[in-house]
Amino acid sequence: MDIVSEKKRSEMMSNIKGKNTLPEIMVRKYLYSNGYRYRIHDIKLPGKPDIVLSRKKIAIEVRGCFWHGHRCRLI
């Protein structure tokens, strides 16, 4: 059972960014500063992963604080 109305839930969900979130940008900056080159949101792969390291054959999905249900300094 939901604790908010359907209209309020729709409004809340529409305010959540799907791309280029702060946790995702932090991971990208870390990878780039350590010499890794990558593609973002590669449409050739299923699910359009957030970060793709094609030379290493690695796809990374970054799930931020919203999806884990906690508050932190990144929000």
Phi and psi angles of residue 59, each rounded to the nearest 5 degrees, phi first:
-120, 135
In a domain, residue 8? The reply is no
In a domain, residue 3? The reply is no
Question: Rounded to a whole number, what is the largest CA-CA distance in the chain?
Answer: 47
Range of the domain at 21: 17-68
Sheet containing 58-60: order of strands? 39-40, 51-53, 58-60
| CATH number, domain with residue 62 | 3.40.960.10
The pTM of this model reads 0.69
**For each of the chain's 75 residues, which pLDDT tens digit applies?**
678 888 988 888 787 777 888 888 999 999 999 999 999 999 999 989 999 999 999 999 987 666 556 666 654
In a domain, residue 29? The reply is yes
Whole-number Å distance between alpha carbons of 4 and 6: 7
CB atoms near residue 65 (< 10 Å): 15
Q: Which residue has the tokens 């957030």?
A: 50
Total domain count, the chain: 1
In a domain, residue 39? The reply is yes
